[in-house]
Amino acid sequence: MPLILIIDYDNEVRGMLRQTLERAGYDVLDAPMARKGMDLYRQDPADLVITDLIILEKEGIETIIELRREFPDVKIIAMSGGGIIEPETYLRMAKGLGAVRTLTKPIERKDLLEAVREFIE
């Protein structure tokens, strides 16, 4: 069963993503903070990482850089609803740093599953 790691500080978003992916048959790990997400990935490398770009402790951009440095083949989907600037700017940066796909929040369930299937199946 493919394993997906979700990193997002928002409990509701993380819960929705987890529920959607588990219902679709995936195993899911999740973390509210980047450091915990990195620890989980190091212990049990997931087939795919889905990370928000605005997260606690360190930004998602830093998390992408760290993941790609330690695990060059990691597949990452970055997501953002924006922050100080519009989400497209954050997502362009994430794509340039190695995210294989980007999603703008709020995320439609069908778009999430389509993106996941593109890189796992």
Angle, CA of 78, 30 and 85, to the nearest 5°: 30
In this structure, are strands 27-31 and 101-104 parallel, antiparallel, or unpaired?
unpaired
pTM surpassing 0.75? Answer: yes
Residue range of the domain that includes 64: 3-120
Structural domains of the chain, count: 1
Reading the chain (121 residues) residue by residue, the pLDDT tens digits are 999 999 999 999 999 999 999 999 999 999 999 999 999 999 999 999 999 988 766 778 899 999 999 999 999 999 998 666 677 888 999 999 999 999 999 999 999 999 999 999 7
Q: Can you give the CATH number for the domain in which 103 is found? A: 3.40.50.2300
E strand or H helix at 83:
none
